[in-house]
A and B are shown apart, each in its own frame.
Chain A
Amino acid sequence: MSVRILIPSGALGLGYDATALERGIANKPDLIAIDGGSTDSGPSYLGRGVSKYARSSTKIEWAGLMDAARRAGCPLVIGTAGTCGAGSAVDWLLDITREVLAETGHSAKIAVLRSDQGPDVVAEAFETGRVTPLPAAPEIDVDLIQSCTNIVALAGVEQISTALATGADIVIAGRTTDTAIIAALPIERGVDAGLAWHAAKIGECGALCATNPQSGVLQVDFEDDAFVLTPLADGAHATPHTVSAHMLYENSDPYLLYEPGGVLDVTRAVYEALDDTRVRVTGSKWVPSDDYTVKLEGARVAGYQTIVMALLRDRHYVANAAAWADDIVAKCTAKALARTPASEGDFSIEIRLIGQNATLGALETRTSDAVEIGALGLVTAKTHALAGEIAKLLNPYLLHHPLTRDEEQPTFAFPFSPAEIDRGAIYEFCLNHVLRLDDPMDAFSLEVVDG
């Protein structure tokens, strides 16, 4: 048995090496698989159900992959379409797909796998004990679940296999685990599940497991008791070190990877160089779990934010920036309570000092003799109007607040007019839980459309 998967890059929108992709097509893969998303850019994308990457760039890259799959004569699958994998992001990519088909005069059978979860359904599952927390999960209740603007479940190989079994030319999947789109076909064809999931984890970022990581294109071949990784770009080499080190990447545990239906254990995996470019891996193990669970992700509105920025260049103010900022926060908070209908707890004012400790906050250990300091004022409030109103109260302080009462009124540098920048709603991830399912398709829906 042999199965060959072509992975063009770590994510649609990051680009791929066109020459390497041509090599991959010529090698006749059984499937082209690419990831479309990640939580790494934060909760706003899931909260709003939108893509991080530009539509123009996504369309060009996706059209290239649709063409590649057609010429290779194999299906094309994308997981976590549109960064977050919510329904609106799936629709966005489906729309792009139809546009490309119309423009190129081709047709295709498209399977659309949706991962959206109704808040009411998740709330009911929570109440009946089918939603359980993962380590470091936040406390949740029914109200919190119902306040989510989007909840998605991460599909595994079962759902992707079901979508591929429709015979679709293109599978557009909502939220999936990064690995499921790569592991599904080999497992369906009888490859050992440990090898399939391990290869998928190594391959999910494309050529990131090799040298020349930005070249993207990676080929994965499955044998009876091993898998082989081949980066296809010039100058890209996989070594046992680069491959095994990829198990560290964005994983809290480098040996165990929890997936729907079980856990991958690579403690005893062996990595060997076939030559200076290819690595062969054996010894990965899949341990099925008793229950079938899928991870949930949810995001909700955490408030509204308006930011204001001032720049301190005056040497005395640079040296005393922390005291200056603390005084402003205290005075502006008091003024907001006095002059607006807001109560304590309805808003917060924070000033982060860029050049001092804006990145690490209280963890910062170094002090610097900075030339200048950026004072980034963050006003976060329960309503959009209140955030804007309090930012306007903050504005004159950031422009003119003196360290001492008797000095001549200072003025600081504002880089913009208006100084206030409305960030609108801000979101937060609020689920780090799994949902137990009786059947893997219970939380997912599949439709096949002609495009």
Chain B
Amino acid sequence: MAELGQIVEKVRSKNAGPFWLTVDIFCGSPEAYARVRDGLETQAVARFLDTPVQTLKRFDMEDLRVVKLSLPRPAVQGTVNDRDMHGAALAALVAEINIP
């Protein structure tokens, strides 16, 4: 097992409008991409992010060697319960997911 952040080039998280977050995992090499694509289970990500798997969108993009995850914001951007206006910090959390 290894932390995702140790395997890939970069993890970026951003708002995709005020109601969605999107996480882009830039894997770099084809080997890292294959490892993330196969080792990162969508169910496990949903549990880790405490988000319903039904609304967790995932795109495995071989050309770019990117795995992209999009989810409804747990707190709508800027509401009292939102802690991260730009959705920037989710990347750090995803980078700490352990995969085989």
Instruction: Please list the residues of chain A having a beta carbon within 8 angstroms of any beta carbon in chain B.
Output: 39-44, 134-138, 241, 244-245, 248-255, 297, 302-303, 305, 348, 352, 358-366, 378, 380, 426-429, 432
Contact = CB atoms under 8 A, between A and B. Distances in A.
B66 A248 contact: yes
Interface size on B, as a range, is 35 or more
A249 B24 CA distance: 8
A251 B84 contact: no
Interface stretch (B29-37, B38-46, B53-61): B53-61
Nearest to B14: A250
A360 B18 contact: no
Interface of B: 14-20, 22, 24, 26, 48-50, 55, 57, 59, 61, 63-64, 66, 68, 70, 72-74, 76-80, 83-86, 89-90, 93, 96
A249 B78 contact: no
A428 B80 CA distance: 8
Given A42-B77, A303-B80, 5 more contacts: A135-B72, A136-B72, A137-B19, A254-B68, A302-B80
Contacts of A39: 15, 17-18, 77
Given A244-B64, A245-B64, A360-B89, A250 B84 contact: no
A321 to B, nearest CB: 17
Q: Tell which of B18, B79, B86 has the most Cβ of chain A within 10 Å.
A: B18
A363 B51 CA distance: 11
B79 to A, nearest CB: 5
Contacts of A366: 96
Contacts of B70: 252-253
Interface residues of chain A: helix, strand, loop or mixed (majority): loop
Given A42-B77, A244-B64, A251-B22, A358 B83 contact: yes
17 contacts: A39-B15, A39-B17, A42-B77, A43-B18, A43-B78, A44-B78, A135-B19, A138-B19, A249-B14, A250-B14, A251-B16, A252-B22, A362-B50, A365-B93, A428-B78, A429-B19, A429-B78
B26 to A, nearest CB: 8
B17 A359 contact: no
Given A135-B72, A252-B70, A254-B59, A432 B18 contact: yes
Q: Tell which of A42, A378, A427 has the most Cβ of chain B within 10 Å.
A: A42
Nearest to B23: A248
A253 B56 CA distance: 11
A360 B83 contact: yes
Q: Nearest 5 A-B pairs (CB), nearest first? A: A42-B78, A136-B72, A252-B70, A252-B16, A43-B78
B49 to A, nearest CB: 7
Contacts of A42: 77-78, 85
Contacts of A255: 59
B15 A250 contact: yes
Q: Tell which of A40, A255, A352 has the most Cβ of chain B within 10 Å.
A: A40
Contacts of A244: 63-64
A366 B93 CA distance: 9
Contacts of A428: 76, 78-80
A429 B80 CA distance: 11
Nearest to A305: B80
A42 B88 CA distance: 13
